Structure 1
Amino acid sequence: MQKYSVNQHLIETILAWVNSGEIAIPEIQRPFVWDSSKVRDLMDSLYQGYPIGYVIAWRNPNVKLKDGSLSEGKKVLIDGQQRITALTAAILGQCVINKNYQRVKIKIAFNPIEERFEVQNPAILKDKIWLHDITDAFSGKVSLLKLVRDYSALNPEIDEDLIENSFSRLISIVKKPIGMIELAPELDIETVTEIFIRINSKGVVLSQADFAMSKIASDTENGGNELRKAIDYFCHLAIAPDFYKHIVDNDKDFAKTDFFQKMSWLKTENEDLYDPSYNDLIRVAFTSQFNRGRLSDLVSLLSGRNFETRSYETEIAEQSFLKLKNGVNNFINETNFKRFLMIVKSAGFISPKLIRSQNALNFAYIVYLKLKELGVNSVAIESYVRKWLVYSILTGRYSGSPESTFDFDIKQISQKPFGEYLQEKEDGELSDAFWNASLPQSLDTSVASSPYFHVFLASQVKANDRGFLSKDVLVGDLISLRGDIHHLFPKDYLSKNGLDRSKYNQIANYVYMQSEVNIKVGNKPPKDYFELIKTQMQDDNKQVSGLSTEQELLDNLKMNCVPTEIMEMSIDDYQDFLTLRRKLMAQKIKEYYKTL
C-alpha cells in the first residue's frame, strides 16, 4: 500500500487552505517557538528562490454525518507548523501565540532598494526607505502599481523601475511552490510516528500524546481548541501558579470558560509531588473514562472510528469528545486531585524525589478516579490506591510497555472487583519468595535512586521513624528539608580499605542521618563510633547523638533496619553487614505494605 503522496502547492494555495480550515495547524509543539528573526529569514529564503523544505500532512478520514452523507477529512499538519504559522503571520498578518501564551503580531519590513528583510522596529518605522509591513503588499487591497507609486512619492530619488522590480518579486513569493507530503488517512499512529521520525532531520520524537493533542486541537467543531488549552494551561499552572494572572491578562476568552474556573485553585497551589505533563493528563483522563490504555485508540475515537464497522461516524467523534472532556474535568477537579495527593502522602511518599515512575503515579490516579466512579467505599479506595502504587513501583509494572499494561489493567478493573484483581497480583508477584529472596537481591545495588530504596524510605516516613542516631528528628523531616543520605560504614573508611565506589555506595549502607551527627561519626569504623556513643551514654554526654539510653539506641537501630551486630563490626564484617541489613529492609517493606 502506498503510504503517502507528494505534491507541490503554491504558498497562496496552502494559505487559502489554512484560512478555510481545510488544513488544521494543531500546534503539536504548542505555542509558536520561532523568534521573529527566523520569520524574517524564511521570507528572505522565499524571495531568493531557496527551497524551504517539505511540510507533512496527515489527512483525517472521511466521516459519516448524521444524515448519512460524508464529510471529507481535513489535512492535519504534523510537521511544518512553525513554517506555515510563520507564513500566516508575515503574509496574512495573523496573530501568533508566543511561548508566553500572548497573542502577538510579527511584522516583517522590506527594503526594496537593498532587497532586504528585517523585523519591524522603531527605527524602521521612522525610515521611509522601508515598506514597514510586507502584509500590506499581500493584502490584495493595494495594487502593485499603487504600491510603487506610493513608495516613489516618499522616495522620488529612487529609480521607479528598480522599485517595481523589487516589489514584483516580493509579491510573487505567494506564487512559490512548497512541497507537501500527504500521509494516507488509513495509516495508524505507529506508522505515522515512524514516518515522521525518519523524515525529520532534527531527530524530534513525537509521542502518541502529541498526536492526541493535535487531534484535539484541530477539532474546533467539538470544542477541541478550548480543551487543548485546558490541558496545556493546567499543566503549566501546576508548575507555575503565577501563570494564572498571565492567562487572565492574555487569554480573556479562555478565562471565561468553565475549565478555567475549575483549575483556578492552582493559583495558590505550591505542591510539587505530582506535576503532570500533558502526556500524563491525557493518559489518565482517557484511560479512566474509556477503559482503554492505548492513546492510538483515543485518536481513532476522536476521529469517529467505529471499531466494529471500521468506518468513521460523526456521532462517535462527538461522544468521544464529551467523554474526554469529562475525564479532563475529573482530573483537574480540586477535590479529586488534592485527595489523591493526600493518599499518596499517607503512603509515605512526601516528596517527588521518592517517586521515579510517573506512570505508576498516573495509574494510581486512574485507580482512584475509576473506583470513585464505581462508588467504592472511600476508606477502601485509599487503601487500594496506596497498595497499587507501592505494588506497581516494587514490581516495575509500568516501566516496560506502559500502554499495553495500562490497557490490560483498566480492562481487568472494569470487569471484576478491584480487591479481587489486586489479590491476584499479590498472590502471583508478592509471594514469600519475593519478600525473602527477590527483594533483598534487588536491594543489592549502588543506585541511590532505586525504587526499592525509595519504598523503604516511604515506609520509614509512614512509621514516623527518626533519623539514624537522632532522638527527635524524623526521616520525613530530613527528606522534606533536603537532608543528606550518609553511610553507616563511612565512605572514607571503606575507600581507604580498598573498596571502590560501587562497593561503598551500596544502598544497604545508606541511611538518613543529620549532618552534624555524620561529622562526629567521621571516618571511624562502626565498632569505634558505637563505642563513643556508649561512653557518652554512661557519662550523660550527648556529643555524638541525642540518644540517652541503650534501649533508645536499640529502638533507633531497629527503625532504621540496622542490625545490632554493627556495633562490633569493622571492615572484615562489611559484606555480612550488607546481607543482614538487606533482609531487615525487605522485611520492613513487607510489613509496611501489609499496613497500607
Structure 2
Amino acid sequence: MIELSPDLEIETVTEIFIRINSKGVVLSQADFAMSKIAADTEHSGNELRKAIDYFCHLVVAPDFFKHIVDNDKEFTETDFFQKMQWLKAENEDLYDPDYNDLIRVAFTSQFNRGRLSDLVSLLSGRNFETRTFEAEIAKLSFATLKNGVSNFINETNFKRFLMIIKSAGFISPKLIRSQNALNFAYIIYLKLKELNVNSAAIESYVRRWLVYSILTGRYSGSPESSFDFDIKQISLKPFDEILREREEAELSEAYWSASLPQSLDSSVASSPYFHVFLASQVKAHDKGFLSKDILVSDLISLRGDIHHLFPKEYLKKNGLDRSKYNQIANYVYMQSEINIKIGNKPPKDYLDLIKTQMQENHKQVTGLSTEHDLLDNLKMNCVPTELMAMNVGDYQDFLILRRKLMCLKIRDYYHSL
C-alpha cells in the first residue's frame, strides 16, 4: 500500500497515479477522474460512473440494453437509465463518444474549465482560493457533474447536435478525424443553449466552429489548454464576437488564397482539408464526377471509392511516383463503373470520348447528355475546364488550378454556414 500525503498538489497525485499504472495500460486524466467518481460513496458516485460507462457502451452497441435490464436492476430504477433508454434503438455512428469524451464535454460545459485535473480537485472538494478541501465543494461538484452528464445523454440534445453536424455536410464518421473537434462543438451547443442563445444562431455557430477548428487543427495534439482557453472566452463575451475575432486572425483572405492551397498540396486522402471539401460537396448536393444522378453523399455513405482525374496507371506509366499521382487535387468521388470505362486514358482522350458519345446520343460512359451538363458537373466537382485539353505534360498546371477552385468552394461553403 502506498500512502500519499494529503498536502500534495492534485497534479502530483495524478502523476503518481499515472506512473504507477503505466507499466500496463497507460492511464489518462479521465481514468483518474473515473476512479474518483467510482470510489465515491457519499454522492452516488458509483451510479454516475455506471451512467457514463453504460451510455458509452450503448451508443456503440444498443443490444447491450438488455444486459443492463437483466443484470443491473438497481440502475434501471435511476433517472439516468430513463434518460438513456432511447439508445436501445439508436444505430447512428457519426459521434460515438467514449467515457473520456463524455467526461470532458460534461465537465467543460458545466464548470467552464478545460483541464480534467481540475475536475478531480473539485470532486475532492478543493477550494482553489484557500487551497483547502471542503465537503460542500465536493457535494456541489458532484451535483454539477451529474447535471453535465444528464445534459450530454439527453436525447433531444444529442440528436439535435448530430442533426447540426450533418447539416454541415459531415454525414459520415470518416469525414471527421478529430474527435476533440466534435467534443468542443458539442460543448458549444450545450453552453449556448444554457445561455439561451437563439436556436438558429446556435446551429450556425456550431457548424462554423466545427469547420474552423478542423481547418486550423485547433484541437489536434493536446487539447486541454485550448479547451480551457476557449470555454473561458465563451463565459466572458458574446460568441459572435469570439468567432469574428478568430476568423479575422486565422481565416483571412490570405488563408483562403495562400495557406489553404498549400495545405491541399498533399497526397494524404485522409487530410482534414479534403474532408472539409467533401463536406462542402455534400452540403451543396453535388453529384459525383460524371454522374447524372448519383450524389457525392451517396458515394460517401455507400462506401464509394475515390478515383483519380488523371488516371493513376496513366501517370505511373509516364514516370510519376505515388506522391505525385496520389495528390488531393487529383482525387474525386466517382462511380466505379464510370472509372472502369475511363480506364487509363489521359483526360483529353476520355473527355473527348464522352463529348462524342453525347453528340451521338450514346451513354456508354456517363448518363450526362449535353455539354452543358458536363460543364456543370465539372464546376460542382471543382474540375477546371482546361482538363478537357490536358495530358500528362499539363498535370502540374492542373493541380494548381484545381487547388484554387477547391479553396474557393471551401471558402464559400464556410461563409454559408
TM-score by length of 1: 0.69
Does the alignment pair 1:374 with 2:195? yes
* TM alignment of 1:436-447, pairs within 5 A: 436-447=257-268
Matched, 1:350 2:188: no
Deviations 1:253-286 (A, max 9, x none): 0011110000000000000000000000000000
Indicate the residue corresponding to 1:184 in structure 2. 5
Once residues 553 and 186 of structure 1 are traced to their aligned partners in structure 2, the CA distance between those partners, rounded to angstroms, is 73
Look up the equivalent residue of 2:178 and give its one-letter code. Answer: S
Letter in 2 for 1:453: F
Q: How does 1:336-415 map to 2 (within 5 A)?
A: 336-415=157-236
Taking only the aligned residue pairs, the percentage that are identical comes to 84
Cα distance in 2, alignment partners of residues 492 and 395 from structure 1: 34
Please point out which of 39, 45, 59 is paired with 1:224: 45
2:204 maps to a residue whose letter is S
Alignment check: 8 A CA contact 2:305 2:336 kept: yes
Larger Rg: 1
The answer to whether the aligner puts 1:327 opposite 2:136 as a matched pair is no
Select the residue among 136, 139, 159 that pairs with 1:315: 136
Could you tell me whether the CA contact under 8 Å between 1:263 and 1:333 is conserved in 2?
yes
Larger helix share, 1 or 2: 2
1:292 corresponds to: 113
CA RMSD, Structure 1 to Structure 2 (Å): 1.1
Cα distance, 1:196 vs structure 2: 4.5
Residues 1:242 and 2:63 aligned together: yes
Shift of 1:502: 1.0
Contact 2:309 2:332 in 1 (8 A): yes
Q: Structure 1 residue 182: deviation in Å?
A: 2.6
CA-to-aligned-CA distance 1:518-574 (integer Å, 9 cap, x gap): 000101110110011011100000001111011100000000000000111111111
Aligned residue pairs total 417
Determine if the alignment matches structure 1 residue 560 to structure 2 residue 381. Answer: yes
Report the AA paired with residue 355 of structure 2: K
* SS of residue in 2 equivalent to 1:231: helix
Q: Greater relative contact order: 1 or 2 (C-alpha under 8 angstroms, separation 6 or more)?
A: 2
Q: Deviations over 1:354-390 (max 9, x none)?
A: 0000000000000000000000000000000000000
3-state secondary structure, aligned to 1:221: coil
Q: Which runs of 5+ in 1 are unaligned?
A: 1-179
Counterparts of 1:513-524 in structure 2, within 5 Å, are 513-524=334-345
After superposition, the C-alpha distances for 1:283-327 in whole angstroms (9 at most, x for unaligned) are 000000000000000000000000010000000000000000000
Note closer, same or farther for the CA distance 1:257–1:281 as it changes in structure 2 (3 Å cut).
same
Q: What is the rounded CA distance, in whole Å, between the counterparts of 1:186 and 1:368 in structure 2?
A: 38
Q: Which secondary structure does the structure 1 equivalent of 2:129 belong to?
A: coil
The offset of 1:200, in angstroms, is 4.5
Q: Is the 8 A contact 1:189 1:208 kept in 2?
A: no
1:449 maps to: 270
Separation in 2 of the partners of 1:489 and 1:344? 32
**Structure 2 counterpart of 1:530, which letter?**
L
Q: Find the residue that maps to 1:546 and give its secondary structure.
A: coil
Amino acid aligned to 1:446: S
- Give the aligned partner of residue 79 of structure 2: 258
Matched with 2:318 is 497
CA distance in 2, matches of 1:201, 1:476: 43
Match of 1:135 in 2: none
Shift of residue 220 of structure 1?
A: 1.3
2:309 paired with 1:488:
yes
1:570-581 aligned within 5 A:
570-581=391-402
Q: 1:48-92 CA distances to partner (integer Å, 9 max, x unpaired)?
A: xxxxxxxxxxxxxxxxxxxxxxxxxxxxxxxxxxxxxxxxxxxxx
State how far apart, in whole Å, the 1-side matches of 2:341 and 2:158 are: 43
Q: Which structure is higher in strand share?
A: 1
Matched, 1:472 2:293: yes
Structure 1 residue 450: Cα displacement: 0.4
Q: Do residues 202 (structure 1) and 23 (structure 2) align?
A: yes
Question: Which amino acid counterpart does residue 590 of structure 1 have in structure 2?
Answer: R
Kindly state the Cα deviation for residue 195 of structure 1 after the two structures are TM-superposed.
3.5
Structure 2 unmatched ranges of 5 or more = none
Q: TM-score, normalised by structure 2?
A: 0.98
State the shift of 1:189 in Å: 4.9
CA distance in structure 2 between the partners assigned to 1:478 and 1:274 by the alignment: 20
